Amino acid sequence: MRAAFTIAAKDLRQRTRDRSAYVIAFLVPFGLAAIFSLTLAKVSNESEFTATYSVVNRDGGEVARAFEEVVLGLDFVKLKPAATVAEASKLAEDGTIDAAFVIPAGFSATASAGQGGELRVITSPNASIGGLIARSIAGSFASDIDAVGLSVQTVLAGRGGSLHDPAVLSQLVERARQTTPTAVLDQNTAESRLFSSTTFYAVGMAVLFVFFTVQFGVRSLLAERETGTLARLLVAPMRPAWVIAGKALASFAVGIASMIALVLASSLLLGAHWGDPIGVALLVVSAVLAAMGITALVATLAKTPAQAEGYASVVAIVGGMLGGTFFPVSQGPAFLANLSLITPHAWLMRGFQELAGGASVLDILPSVGAVLAFAVVLGGIALARADRLVAS
């Protein structure tokens, strides 16, 4: 075992003198994470959701004013004035607002009399989410008015009252004001389940590039085989397994150092939030082991260092794209999200996302287990084919 540590130490000294190692292991992933997070800040999940609406109140009655108060009371809503229906339609068409509510004249009277009334919603074609929420708000308010009116009418039926009575109308409006709308956006809950753009790209680049970083060990082994250095090591008084173990230890150390540096740098310089440090450590270790297993297996198919690097790079890029390191796979078709689970990248992104959202170590154990399964299975196959790596 001492021989393995000696070989690992020798490889690490070589890596520290290799400038390309610093570029691949740290500078490129950190730089890309910084560029992506800065250029895509406007579509960041971290940004607070807001919807801009207009209310064209052509009624002016008590029920209409109650509806305006409901809309104003929603903390994610901004109101833009619109004096006419034509003006509101133009704002919606231009995308200036997400939707406009049009309250027709006589709405309060007909609603309070139990004769119905039309609450119109004009939505922008460019704001599907804001439009859906607007329709939900209007539908919820209409349902609440109907429910309150029915309950008041039921009480009055036994007392001989009338909904045309001003005192009854005031009671109806007051109860409508106090009714909680169905459409409520829980900012904390929504935010806790999502990466910020900075965290997403920091995690994505760290996960993607660890599959490049651990290639140094395999490339070193194949390079020494090609130059004849490996043959001299194999005739030394030590087992061939120690040579492979030494290369693996060096790859593991470089991979761990790379990911830790990215976690710290992105947290301190970019403001990324990774979550529970113990959970992060578990995912980092499992990521490096899975990357080593895949890279070693792919390398057994190569005859030269260049071939090994090419094969491993293709696997890393395809796995990264399918696993969601460049974009959230949830934005694609449902089958893509299911297909992504055949990659360790997807399980790592899922685990890091849960941690960023406040999950505990226990919550991410399924993700850690899945990634370690990739490491054990693929690494085991690579070990079974290890003779191809050391054969001259």
Kindly report, residue by residue over 265-279, the tens digit of the pLDDT.
999 998 889 999 999
Whether residue 55 is found in the same domain as residue 36: no
Selection from 347, 297, 304 nearest residue 322 by Cα: 347
Whether residue 30 is found in the same domain as residue 109: no
Strands 77-79 and 51-57: parallel
Whether residue 142 is found in the same domain as residue 232: no
Three-class DSSP labels, 227-254: HCHHHHHHCCCCCHHHHHHHHHHHHHHH
Whether residue 226 is found in the same domain as residue 273: yes
State residue 183's pLDDT score: 46
Per the structure, the count of domains in the chain is 2
| Least trusted range by pLDDT, from 122-136, 161-175, 221-235 | 161-175
99-103 β-sheet, strand order: 77-79, 51-57, 99-103, 120-123
Task: Give me the mean pLDDT over the 204-227 stretch.
Answer: 78
Residues with Cβ within 8 Å of 154's Cβ and at least 6 positions away in sequence, in order, are none
State residue 265's pLDDT score: 93
Dump the DSSP string for 324-366: TSSS-GGGS-HHHHHHGGGSHHHHHHHHHHHHHTT--TGGGHH
The Cα–Cα gap between 271 and 311 comes to 34
89: containing domain: 51-184
The Cα–Cα gap between 381 and 299 comes to 12
Give CA angle at 248 (244, 251), nearest 5°. Answer: 145
Whether residue 238 is found in the same domain as residue 349: yes
CA distances from 230 to 24, 227, 390 (A): 25, 8, 7
Neighbours of 140 (CB within 10 A): 17
* Three-class secondary structure of residue 206 per DSSP: helix
Which CATH number characterizes residue 128's domain? 3.40.190
* Strongest mean pLDDT among 154-158, 208-212, 290-294, 369-373: 369-373
This prediction's pTM: 0.61
Last residue of a domain, one of 184, 210, 231: 184
Last residue of a domain, one of 124, 154, 184: 184
Whether residue 244 is found in the same domain as residue 361: yes
The Cα–Cα gap between 386 and 10 comes to 21
State residue 188's pLDDT score: 40
Whether residue 213 is found in the same domain as residue 360: yes
Whether residue 10 is found in the same domain as residue 133: no
Task: Give me the mean pLDDT over the 362-385 stretch.
Answer: 91
Whether residue 120 is found in the same domain as residue 208: no
Neighbours of 282 (CB within 10 A): 20
State residue 237's pLDDT score: 56
The Cα–Cα gap between 140 and 55 comes to 16
* Three-class secondary structure of residue 35 per DSSP: helix
Q: Which amino acid belongs to residue 87? A: E
State residue 191's pLDDT score: 38
* Average of per-residue pLDDT values in the chain: 77
Neighbours of 279 (CB within 10 A): 24
Whether residue 369 is found in the same domain as residue 223: yes
Last residue of a domain, one of 122, 156, 184: 184
Selection from 383, 371, 195 nearest residue 284 by Cα: 371
Neighbours of 80 (CB within 10 A): 15
Whether residue 156 is found in the same domain as residue 265: no
Tokens 């154990």 correspond to what residue?
365
Whether residue 16 is found in the same domain as residue 154: no
Neighbours of 218 (CB within 10 A): 27
DSSP 269: I
Radius of gyration of the chain (CA): 31
E strand or H helix that includes residue 32: helix 28-39
* pLDDT tens, position by position, 345-368: 999 999 998 898 888 899 999 999
